[in-house]
Every structure is written in C-alpha cells, then in structure tokens.
C-alpha cells in the first residue's frame, strides 16, 4: 500500500514529467516569427517539372525488401542485389528481373505518351519488352503478389532560400530498379560537398579539434566516402531523416543516432543549436526525439510525426543541410560519430575450448583496415556483426588456445567481414600482418 504522502509526491512527479514532455519548444511569439519568416516571398518555392520520368515505386521497393529478408538475405549491403542460393531462387530471380524490366517499359511508354502530348509531337516509344508469364504460385505464397515496380511520375523542383544560402532539391529521387530501401517518393537527397573536396588544412584542423589522431582520422575518412559530406541529407529511405558525413539517421522512432547527436549539440553548444535549428523550426526532446514545427498549423511534431513533417516540408531538412556547411555542426558530427559509432570498445563473446571469453574488439583488431571494416558495419547496420561466432570458428579451425594467438588472424577476420568496401585494397590504410587464410572459414562466410 502506498502512503498518502508518497502518493502525493508520485502524482507531483508524474505531473512534472508529463509537463516536461508536453512543454512547448517555441513560444507563440517565436512560432509566429518563424512562420512569418518562412512565408516571405522566395523562401520556399515548389515547381512541378515539365517532363514525366520512370521511377521505382515505394511499394515495389518494400516488396523487394521483404523478399530479401524472408530469404535470409536481409544483411546484403544496399548497393548489392543478393543472388540466388538454389535453383528455385534462380527461377524467382529470373522472373523478378523480367517483371521489373516490363514494368519499367510500361512506365516509360506512359511517360512518353504524356510528354509527347504536352510537346505536341508524335511519341517515340522505347524498344518493346516482353511481358513475363504470371508469377509462380510458390513465389506468391511465400512473398505475396508483387506490385508494380515502376511508375511514370513528374518530379517537383524545390528551392529553399536562407539569408546566406540557397538550396535546391528534387523529389521522386531516381533509384536503382531493384533498390530495396526506397520508402518516401516525396523525399529528397543531396550528397553535399564531399569530404575529400574540402581544403586539406580546413579539414585537418576540424578533425584535430574533434579529438581524432591521424590514424583514426584516416579510418573515418575511408568510411565517410561511402556516406557523404558534412552537409549531405536524405529523406527517401529507411533511415527516414539521414544527415551528415556518417549519415546520422532518425529511424522509425524519430530519434536514432541523429537524435543522439542533436541532443549533444543542444547541450554543449546551445547558441549554435539555436542559430542552426531552433530558429528555423527544428528542436530536440530530452529523450532524443526530433521536434519539427508544422508551418501551417503551428503544431509541434515529435518523433515519428516529426519524421513525417521533415520529409514533407523541405524547409526543415534544408536547415540540417545548411548547418552542415558551417564549422560548429561539422565539429559536432565528428565528435558524435566517434562517440556513437567507434567500434573498438564493443564486446565480443565466444568459447575458446571450454572457456567463455568476453573481450573488446580492440583485442583482436589493431590495424586501420580492420577498424575501417567494423566502423563501416556499425555505421551501416548498427552493429559490428557476429564477430564472436567468427572468432570461435577461426579458433577451432586454427586450433588456437589463447585470445592473444587468435589476434594474429585479423587479416582473416577482415576477409570474412568486409562489407561495402575491401580495406585491404586501400593504399591509405595500414594493414594487419598476413596470416593463414583458412579455406574452411572463408567458405563459411562466402569468401572462399
């Protein structure tokens, strides 16, 4: 039984938490000021393009994602199409490729009809593509009936004007025909200014200020090339809102690594946070959820609703891109990336004989190439992968008795786990010592 006095305290505490969670992030006066500023002529201009084009459908992309995952191929890098594992899958793959090609042909014909009519000319249709037979019953039973994989659309051009910079976007982003992560046709993307294009002295200065030594800087640079610049943004895929050189993402809950980085920025550099985000309609909750101001209603959208608002209103994602062009937010990204994604302290657990071993990854990975592999995995998948299982496999195959001897097989571990790029082919990264590339281990991880 709760005593009356304690009950009263609990009520007050709960009310305080609720109050903190529902407290407005902008006063009414601030909201009016922000909405008035954004409504000025030229601040936000959306113009439909005059040409229809072929694009992947979000429904088709979702079906491809489900298809890959239900086959156990969900961990394939987004840049690759997982191959067939048997004759049945080979038959499915052949049909899917034919279906994708036919759908794109139909969409191209529809687009050409509309474009020719608008331009008062005769249409020039593409080379005909044969219609595939209906999908097999087993394919439909396991994965569901495939939707159309392509459609004809007319993208919009969007311009967002700040006082110091103008940013341009296009929705209905052009995806690869079998890209499995496309979710928002009203999303946009911009690669920003590539890290390698920045003046070396400027880049070295900010990396040093962020606390990186020369070796760690090379590792992060090798992975950031796969992601984008400090000012890169993306709102079309499963990351929902993705920002920056290492692609901090809000994910489905509207927080994610982006929320973690943003709360760090607000706490450590409140003045810069206000200049870069708050005054444009973006904020962050104490529990690391994005807050977005609805410019039409004045409502504050939080978490998943903020995702939707930022994807819809390009003025809001533009605030993220603008911030990435200036030193304070670049510095924040570097510091947050080291805190969130650096993999070397992650624990791995495995059995060595009859002994259970739990050690940090740094006990087995020492080279820049090795660090880059696991940084890449953690950035792109959220974790370093099943390293413990791999170390146990190596230990059994090599008849290793101690963790120290197992560390000698770093090159083999890299071979098994490299993800979006092979760091052993990089001239910039230091490599581990050569070791026995045990064929049975390579075969198990598909690198035989």
pLDDT in tens, 82-133: 989 999 999 999 999 999 999 999 999 999 999 999 999 999 999 999 999 9
Q: What is the mean pLDDT of each run of 10 residues along the chain (448 residues)?
A: 43 39 85 98 97 98 97 85 93 98 98 98 97 96 97 98 98 97 97 87 91 88 76 97 93 97 97 98 98 98 98 98 97 93 93 91 94 88 89 92 91 88 86 93 86
Q: Of all helices (H) and strands (E), which one includes residue 213?
A: none
C-alpha torsion angle, residues 15, 16, 19, 25 (rounded to 10): -170
Q: At CB < 8 A and 24+ separation, what contacts does 184-188 make?
A: 184/58, 184/235, 184/236, 184/237, 184/311, 185/55, 185/57, 185/58, 185/153, 185/236, 186/311, 186/312, 187/234, 187/235, 187/236, 187/237, 187/311, 188/158, 188/233, 188/234, 188/235, 188/236, 188/314, 188/317
| The pairing of beta strand 347-352 with beta strand 282-284 | unpaired
Contact indicator for 357, 367 with CB cutoff of 8 Å: no
Cross-sheet strand order for the sheet of 44-48: 44-48, 156-161, 166-170
What predicted TM-score, i.e. pTM, was given to this entire model?
0.85
Average pLDDT taken over every residue of the chain: 91
The pLDDT, as a whole number, for residue 9 is 43
User: Rounded distance, CA 342 to CA 378, Å?
Assistant: 8
The pLDDT, as a whole number, for residue 381 is 81
Contact indicator for 413, 370 with CB cutoff of 8 Å: yes
Helical H segments across 187-278, by residue range: 200-209, 214-224, 256-268, 270-276
10 Å CB burial of residue 223 (0-12, 13-18, 19+) is buried
User: Rounded distance, CA 69 to CA 74, Å?
Assistant: 4
User: Rounded distance, CA 44 to CA 42, Å?
Assistant: 6
* DSSP at 289: -
User: Rounded distance, CA 254 to CA 279, Å?
Assistant: 20
> How far apart are the two ends of the chain, measured CA to CA in Å?
65
The pLDDT, as a whole number, for residue 226 is 60
The pLDDT, as a whole number, for residue 22 is 59
Tens-digit pLDDT profile for residues 24-80: 999 999 999 999 999 999 999 999 999 999 999 999 999 999 999 999 998 787 888
Q: Is 327 helix (H, G, I), strand (E, B) or coil?
A: helix
């Amino acid at each position: 039984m709760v005593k009356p006095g304690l009950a009263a305290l609990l009520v007050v505490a709960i009310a305080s938490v609720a109050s903190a969670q529902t407290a407005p992030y902008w006063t009414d006066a601030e909201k009016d000021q922000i909405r008035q500023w954004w409504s000025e002529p030229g601040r936000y201009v959306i113009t439909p393009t005059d040409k229809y084009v072929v694009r992947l459908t979000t429904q088709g992309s979702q079906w491809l994602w489900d298809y890959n995952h239900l086959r156990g191929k969900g961990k394939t890098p987004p840049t690759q199409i997982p191959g067939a594992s048997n004759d049945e899958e080979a038959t499915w793959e052949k049909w899917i490729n034919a279906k994708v090609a036919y759908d794109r042909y139909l969409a191209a014909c529809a687009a050409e009809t509309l474009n020719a009519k608008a331009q008062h000319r005769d249409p020039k249709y593409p080379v005909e593509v044969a219609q595939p037979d209906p999908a097999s019953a087993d394919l439909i039973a396991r994965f569901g009936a495939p939707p159309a994989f392509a459609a004809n659309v007319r993208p919009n051009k969007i311009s967002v004007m700040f006082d110091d910079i103008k940013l341009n976007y296009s929705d209905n982003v052009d995806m690869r025909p079998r890209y499995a992560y496309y979710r928002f046709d009203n999303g946009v993307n911009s690669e920003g200014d590539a890290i390698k294009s920045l003046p070396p002295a400027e880049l070295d200065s900010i990396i040093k200020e962020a606390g990186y030594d020369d070796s760690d800087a090379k590792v992060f640079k090798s992975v950031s090339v796969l992601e984008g610049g400090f000012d890169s943004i993306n709102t079309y895929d499963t990351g929902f809102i993705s920002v920056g050189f290492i692609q901090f993402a809000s994910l489905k809950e509207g927080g994610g690594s982006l929320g973690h980085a943003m709360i760090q920025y607000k706490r450590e550099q409140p003045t810069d946070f206000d200049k870069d985000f708050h005054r444009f309609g973006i904020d962050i909750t104490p529990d690391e959820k994005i807050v977005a101001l609805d410019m039409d209603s004045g409502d504050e959208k939080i978490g998943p609703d903020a995702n939707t608002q930022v994807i819809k209103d390009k003025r809001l994602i533009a605030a993220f891109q603008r911030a990435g062009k200036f030193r304070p937010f670049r510095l924040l990204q570097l510091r947050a990336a080291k805190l969130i994604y650096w993999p070397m302290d992650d624990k791995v657990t495995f059995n060595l004989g009859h002994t259970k071993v739990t050690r940090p990854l740094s006990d087995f990975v020492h080279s820049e190439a090795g660090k880059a592999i696991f940084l890449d995995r953690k950035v792109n998948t959220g974790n370093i992968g099943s390293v413990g299982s791999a170390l146990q496999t190596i230990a059994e195959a090599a008849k290793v008795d101690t963790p120290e001897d197992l560390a000698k097989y770093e090159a083999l571990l890299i071979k098994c786990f490299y993800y979006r790029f092979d760091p052993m082919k990089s001239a910039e990264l230091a490599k581990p010592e050569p070791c026995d590339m045990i064929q049975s281990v390579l075969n198990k991880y598909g690198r035989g």
